[in-house]
Structures are given as C-alpha cells and as structure tokens.
Amino acid sequence: MDYAVIMAGGTGKRLWPLSRQKRPKQVLKLLDGQTLLRRCYERLSPIFDTRNIIVLTNADYADVVRENLSELPFNNIIAEPAVRDTAGAIGLVSTVLTKCDPEATIAVVTADQIIKPAEVLQQALKDALVFVNNNPDNMITFGIQPTFASTSLGYIKCNNAREYPDCKNKIYSVEAFKEKPDEKEAKEYLNTGQYFWNSGMFVWKAKTILANLAKFLPEATEPLARIQADWGSPNQQQTLRDWFVKLPKISIDFAVMEKADRVHAIKLDCRWFDMGSFAALVDIISSDKDNNIVVAGTSELLDCKNSIIVTEDKGHLIAVIGLENMVIAHSPDATLVCRIDQTHRLKELLELIKQHAGEKFL
C-alpha cells in the first residue's frame, strides 16, 4: 500500500517570535489564514487515503499538529521523543509501517515548503509511486529546476533521462548529491543544466530504505529493531523513549542517499520555496506599492518602504512611520524589530535571550 509521510519536526528559529519551541513554523497561519502543514496535507489528500497520511513530529508539537490536522487518526501522528534528524525519523516510520505492511511504499515530503502549482508535485508523486512499485529496489528523489545560482541549497546531479510506462515525467539517474556550493560552483551547476536543487523529498519501499540504513548506518539497526518489536504493545512508548535517542543524529542524505545505488530523480518544474525565514515571505506574498510585505489583520503604514510586517493577531493594529528595510514580527509576548539584512543573526539573538530570560520566550 502507498503511504505519505509528512516531516514536521523543525522549529523554524528564523521565524521567531512567531515560531517557538512548542509552536513550530509549520503551524503558523501566514498563508491566508492557513498553515504550511495544512497546505502540505491538502497537496497529498487527492493521492493518498487520509488513513495512509502520517505526520512525524517532535513530541512537543504533537498536540498542535493534531489540532491542525484533526481529520487524521490519532495514531497517524508519530511523536519523536528526541531530535535525531531525518535518518532517524525516516527509520522510525519505515520500521513501524513494515510491521503492519511489509510491502509499504512511502512518499516522504516536508511540511515547510511552498510548491506551486500543486499539480506538478502531485503528478510527480504518482509517477514515482508507479516507478517504485514496479522497481522495488530503486529509490526516487525530486529535483527542483533551479532558477538562479543558489548557495544556500544542496544540489543533485542527474543524467540519462528516460521515459517509463505509465509515467508522464521522465526518470533521471542520480549521479551525485552535492552540498551547498560556493558562488562559483553554483553558477557552474546552473550553466550545465545537469543539476537540480535538492528538495529533500523521496519515494521508496519502506523495506528498501531500511535495508540501506542497515548497510550504511548499521548503528541504527538495533534501536529500530527494538522499537519495532514493541510497537503496538503496552511497552511501545517506553521502548521508543529508551531506544530512539540511541539512533545516530544524521540526515538521510549523508547517511544513505550520497552512498546508495539505484537512486533516481524526477524533475519538478515549479515555484518552490523553503519557508525558512521572513525574507521567504517576499516570494509568496504580494507586496504593496512601496514593496512592503504585510501579514496583519489591521495595519497603517506611513512612508514605509521595503519592509516586512507580520502578526497572526488579527485584532492587533500595527502602525508604522518611516520604516525602511526592516522586519517587525509581533506575537502576544514578544516583538522582533530587525533590519532585513541582519535576520541571519536570529539564532545568535535567541542564545542571548536564553541566557538572560531562560526558556520563557523561546
């Protein structure tokens, strides 16, 4: 059977004070009152049965995720008791699914991306499911057609595009995964036409990714086996707490994809954004005549230019005079005022807040 797994564990520190330790960016209502998580679910629901959509998230976020996706069965939200990066998360959901469905095919997507039009991804997912179900030892990733020489994204080098029966998209062979390049390398990647941005989304058989984890990350084998043995039993949560923390803290790209054979790709020719910072709002929300991005129920701007003003509190008035190249982000208990070119220092700021105020505002 086919399953979709939404990875929704990131905190989104670069969107503080809107995103918090117990309220991640995936559940912020910044998209016409909708969340990134809801948008992700709606992209998947035409393809997958609701009972087969699973969300992997941090234990601190489980309740707010359930609130946001109330139609999902309770047990379809899997709460990770610790942060162990994507290799551990994918290992966990794969070992859980193979216990009840040894032939499970999984589409892994992330909750913090904007993809337009959604139909491009939906068709690619359908093709990937067809390909993997007919070629169970193979794995699919999705590459984004790059629009500029980004130095903040990883790349996939692809070649040998081929047509496959019942697939509308061509299937590429993946030659290599490349880490974030410098500016010169990024321009070279763009000019060759062989490199796509690494989307961090995949389709594979659960048993295939587990076999690759056993081969390339053998330290994960015993923790996953212990978790699987007790899943569904009265000891499930205790075993999960005891053994999940013993999984190596590493991404699935480093652990498996850079080393594995039989990796293929489908190109996504669409608008794609990783909603990782306030600056990303510029790409998804229309600006006013003075190039201001405003996400607020009520606001008054006088002589303001090139600024980003955000609040989820629809009853809170934000009134600004003479602002230029600034970010104002308002939440009920904290407000950020920051030059746009300094937003990369938010993690540094949060460390200072932690030192002086503890966890209260994090």
**Whole-number mean pLDDT of the chain?**
90
Q: What is the pLDDT of residue 11?
A: 67
Q: Render 177-243 in DSSP notation, one character per residue.
A: EE----HHHHHHHHHHS-EEEEEEEEEEEHHHHHHHHHHH-GGGHHHHHHHHHHTTSTTHHHHHHHH
Mean pLDDT, residues 208-236 taken together: 96
Residue with the bigger pLDDT between 150 and 32: it is 150
Cα 119 to Cα 187: distance, rounded to the nearest angstrom: 29
Q: Where in the chain is the domain with CATH 3.90.550.10?
A: 2-274
Using alpha carbons, select from 298, 274, 286, 295 the residue that is nearest to residue 33: 295
* Cβ-Cβ contacts under 8 Å for 285 (sequence gap 6 or more): 30, 293, 295
pLDDT greater than 80 at residue 32: no
Q: What is the pLDDT of residue 322?
A: 95
pLDDT greater than 90 at residue 81: yes
Residue with the bigger pLDDT between 279 and 289: it is 289
226: number of Cβ within 10 Å: 18
Using alpha carbons, select from 99, 36, 90 the residue that is nearest to residue 232: 99
- What pairs with residue 34 in β-bridges? 31
- For residue 189, what pLDDT band results from cuts at 50, 70 and 90? confident
The residue assigned the tokens 């005891």 is 242
Q: What is the pLDDT of residue 276?
A: 67
Cα 47 to Cα 244: distance, rounded to the nearest angstrom: 30
User: pLDDT, tens digit, for every residue of 207-220?
Assistant: 999 999 999 999 99
Q: Which tokens belong to 139?
A: 């794995």
Cα 63 to Cα 271: distance, rounded to the nearest angstrom: 31
* Cβ-Cβ contacts under 8 Å for 268 (sequence gap 6 or more): 115, 120, 121, 124, 142, 143, 144, 145, 199
User: pLDDT, tens digit, for every residue of 101-142?
Assistant: 999 999 999 988 888 899 999 999 999 999 999 999 999 999
* Cβ-Cβ contacts under 8 Å for 152 (sequence gap 6 or more): 180
Which helix (H) or strand (E) segment holds residue 283: the answer is helix 281-284
**What percentage of the chain reaches a pLDDT higher than 90?**
58
User: pLDDT, tens digit, for every residue of 292-345?
Assistant: 989 888 889 999 999 999 887 878 899 999 999 999 999 888 899 999 888 888
* Cβ-Cβ contacts under 8 Å for 110 (sequence gap 6 or more): 6, 7, 8, 40, 200, 201
The C-alpha angle 24, 69, 74, rounded to 5 degrees, equals 105
**What percentage of the chain reaches a pLDDT higher than 70?**
98
The CATH number of domain 2-274 is 1.10.150.120: no
DSSP character for 135?
Answer: S
CB-CB contact of 52 with 1 (8 Å): yes
Using alpha carbons, select from 101, 141, 131, 119 the residue that is nearest to residue 46: 119
Q: What is the pLDDT of residue 120?
A: 94
**Total-model pTM:** 0.86
User: pLDDT, tens digit, for every residue of 344-355?
Assistant: 888 899 899 989
